[in-house]
A and B are shown apart, each in its own frame.
Chain A
């Protein structure tokens, strides 16, 4: 525990101390200029990492936020005579508000569409900054003087220290945020927005928040950028810069504060240092050496593909050879930069920090912080009284897809405390019915009532909020998160700490409580031992059970299990039955969609059978099994007896 803290915090403090101490020993305006830019880009990339690393989206709008922040601070100083703190505050706010506004239309988009939306935004921003000459000075640029900080005029070293302190501050706040349920929600969004919604976490809120926070950091860095260069032009903030920033985040390593700062160092230092021919040759020779060693090692223990081993060697080798042949390396600087980046991206797919972290963790085997003892199950899932009255009612529910009547006039009631089976052949409308209840689809007609009140329509999130949780037939786990984190994302009723306090690190206690409660749920499904494994690394059966534990973390009144036994081996099926029984004992009502008739017969109090979108039978498991229409539906032949 202490060793870990010492190593991690120690490394942070050491790096910070070293960087801060440099101007005391080295009086070189160039070094100072580079380091200042490094600190500013550090903040910028930490912001970009929120959308690129945590949300997993290609964000091409970050350079525009840098520009907006820079101009906001610049104009505050030149037009309004603001001091430095006020101007930086305005920059932060501008990024936050515009980021939130941009997130609204960009919300529904993913992948290339999201990239394009943000790209268009940045083009629009640059056009506006360029055309609004009366305010921004347009293409001729905006010259400003660095204002005083609380009455003190900062020199180059003073400003550098300010940037470093702000970087450290941002680092601490973001560490608190990203290690809290906010950070987990951001990551969950990346892996499965549908499941995030279905767990009542709300993609909307978190996506907007994540994007706005990242953008706010971008424009905050913009404010510092303005005070650093003291001259702004719209064309500094175009697509080209964006590409470099993106490279920085990925090269440094995603989802890592260290990665962002290392990435910043790479993109700030490398292009500038490459101008020096000697440094370039030393770099390329070292790079070749590294590529050869890593490549040969990788090939020997077969951990890398041949391409991954050979390509960096070829790239670095051509740099070394080219460096000797070409008369003027300055002319080839971009190509040199590209080849170096190529080697890093191919050779180290998890980025520089990912590689270093793995290397260091082999060097110092550090135990992760211990987990608390699981909470009592009563604290997590209070036992509910059994009342034999309808909890959920469907009244003439319809859902059509074009001409296909997937659910056609279905009425049924699920009683409180029951396990209600929903069966039917493939294509009978079970899944559609469940998707309508859980809010994935809006109904074409009819009503769904919970506790006698109409259920929100067509919103997974709203439905989850009123007490319905579900699992998915095709697993929708948050693959990159640990099993424990999967449950913690969905956990309800624990996270109360207001955001400002959380940023300052006052959420440790509720974090422990959340861990304890989530462990209790993992224990319930028999996964307590695998709490730290990544969800995607679990066995198929364990993944199914994890989905159940996660759904329970919503503390639902009604749990919908969508074919939980599908694809399970026989021992797992037995365990599944045991788990469902345990959940049932807590008084939670369950809708079970299942093909395995033995599971259904063993568990269900009541069974509804669908075929062709209509209810064809309802009753106890034994009753429906003998129902002629059911037999006909399953066997597809006329039942004659």
Chain B
């Protein structure tokens, strides 16, 4: 009995001994709990890229090729756990970089520990504006001089701008804002209000209502919007509650468009809203539609690798995938696994990286505490408006499709 135990223990210990020539990357995110569909999609997308790189021999560093080794940490979407994970990662000497996480609160609680050690960190798919704006110059204190934190997601500012733009384009004048009561929803609401003001106050916000995670009955919020004559509902939340809103709109006879953040493309919205979700509009960085062979192969290998027929959150998966590719390119350019050198390379990436979202040319530049854009990869151009149509997200405007295909070249 004891012998077998000992033997098995030794076996386990043996597998923990790695070859010295590996590139160690941490992937963090909520892999359990309410935000898990995004967290696991991101992780699985990233791991798909890693598997492909490893299958091809690894990342070229100088003359050698290095396999990528992954450290996974589930932050459960909890801030204190996020902070501890960041501390743990910050204390690993051989870590080259960190990719991931979904919840803006977790980013805010943890990133200071990574930044302290100068560990290169790519945030994806957390979109809350505060994740990056916390490092810029503020009235009362100067921002970070040298920042090792990058973001690889269309931040809420871009998305809110697009949503508001779209509502104005469609000649609406009265809108209702609906959002969930989490950090994500509230910060989305603030971005929307901010954008409405910036774009000339052409929209009148007749109602601002919120809902909690897990709420299934949205009658009160929707009746309030209906009573005040909203012509469109601008919404910021995540999948299941968004579906409850769409279904509630059908039940209460509120026949107006639903426009909101990219989370409206999550399969748990599309599936659960069914036909009630048709016509819903959202900004997208990636649409699960094989527009090029590259995208087609990504979607197919994801489905095959994880035994699914649809990606729970295609945007997260694609961003996780592309983030790894960009990181690997930076390693190759830096010719080192040293996280500081990788950071420098990321800020000045010479070779274009062919991803599934776009072909990335110089996604980041030297950090400037006065301009958060220097560490934001996404610009307005990378995002398009998507629309739900019979269980899938399609391009709301076919001109966008052609534009994206072009950018992939």
Contact = CB atoms under 8 A, between A and B. Distances in A.
Direct contact between A and B judged by beta carbons closer than 8 A: yes
B78 interface: yes
Contacts of A281: 9, 12
A231 B90 CA distance: 18
B105 interface: yes
A209 B279 CA distance: 59
B84 A30 contact: yes
Given A139-B181, A281-B9, A30 B88 contact: yes
A328 B44 CA distance: 12
A334 B31 CA distance: 11
A282 B81 CA distance: 22
B301 interface: no
Interface in B1-60: 1-2, 5, 8-9, 12-13, 16, 31-32
Given A30-B84, A31-B91, A229-B80, A143 B181 contact: no
Interface in B68-103: 72-74, 78-81, 83-85, 87-88, 90-91
Contact of B8 (A30, A140, A324): A324
A30 B113 CA distance: 10
A231 B181 contact: no
Main secondary structure of the interface of B (DSSP, over half): helix
A141 B105 contact: yes
Interface string B99-138: 0000001001100110001000000000000100010000
Contact of A235 (B5, B105, B130): B105
A444 B107 CA distance: 65
Given A139-B186, A141-B105, A30 B73 contact: no
Contacts of B87: 29-30, 32-34
Main secondary structure of the interface of A (DSSP, over half): helix
B182 interface: yes
Given A229-B80, A328-B72, A30 B183 contact: no
B113 A29 contact: yes
A230 B186 contact: no
Interface residues of B, number: 39
B187 interface: yes
B207 to A, nearest CB: 16
A130 interface: yes
A334 B78 CA distance: 14
Nearest to B88: A30
B304 to A, nearest CB: 16
B240 interface: no
A277 B16 contact: yes
Contact of B16 (A28, A34, A235, A278): A278
A233 B79 contact: yes
B185 interface: yes
Given A29-B90, A33-B87, A143-B134, A334 B32 contact: yes
A272 interface: yes
A173 B88 CA distance: 34
Contacts of A33: 83-84, 87-88, 113
B95 to A, nearest CB: 12
Interface string A96-123: 0000000000000000000000000000
Interface in A584-626: none
B74 A333 contact: yes
Contact of B109 (A133, A231, A292, A328): A231
B105 A34 contact: no
A140 B5 contact: no
A30 B88 CA distance: 4
A131 to B, nearest CB: 8
B79 A231 contact: yes
Contacts of A30: 84, 87-88, 90-91
Contacts of A140: 130, 183, 186-187, 190
A330 to B, nearest CB: 5
Given A139-B182, A140-B183, A285-B9, A29 B109 contact: no
Interface in A125-177: 130, 133, 138-141, 143
A29 B5 contact: no
Interface in A523-565: none
Contact of B5 (A32, A139, A143, A285): A285
B73 A278 contact: no
B105 A37 contact: no
B91 A29 contact: yes
A289 interface: yes
A236 interface: yes
> Which of B2, B12, B190 gathers most chain A CB within 10 Å?
B12
Contacts of B183: 139-141, 233, 235
Contacts of A143: 108, 134
Contacts of B90: 29-30
A133 B186 CA distance: 10
Interface string B235-279: 000000000000000000000000000000000000000000000
Given A37-B80, A130-B181, A236-B79, A138 B186 contact: yes
A275 interface: yes
Contacts of B31: 330-331
Interface in A243-261: none
A422 to B, nearest CB: 60
A320 B112 CA distance: 37
Given A139-B182, A235-B105, A28 B9 contact: no
A273 to B, nearest CB: 10
Contacts of B117: 29
> Which of A31, A139, A278 gathers most chain B CB within 10 Å?
A139
A141 B117 CA distance: 24
Contacts of B88: 30, 33, 272, 275
A133 B179 CA distance: 15
A141 B80 CA distance: 13
A68 B113 CA distance: 25
Contact of B78 (A236, A275, A285): A236
B203 to A, nearest CB: 22
Contact of B83 (A31, A229, A278, A324): A229
A638 B317 CA distance: 95
A146 B78 CA distance: 21
Interface string A209-250: 000000000000000000001110101100000000000000
8 contacts: A140-B186, A229-B79, A231-B108, A275-B73, A277-B12, A278-B16, A285-B5, A289-B5
Interface of A: 28-34, 37, 130, 133, 138-141, 143, 229-231, 233, 235-236, 271-272, 275, 277-278, 281-282, 285, 288-289, 292, 320, 324, 328, 330-331, 333-334
Interface of B: 1-2, 5, 8-9, 12-13, 16, 31-32, 72-74, 78-81, 83-85, 87-88, 90-91, 105, 108-109, 112-113, 117, 130, 134, 181-183, 185-187, 190
Given A277-B16, A278-B12, 18 more contacts: A29-B87, A29-B91, A30-B84, A133-B186, A139-B183, A139-B186, A229-B109, A230-B112, A231-B79, A231-B105, A231-B108, A275-B73, A277-B12, A278-B16, A328-B72, A331-B32, A333-B32, A333-B74
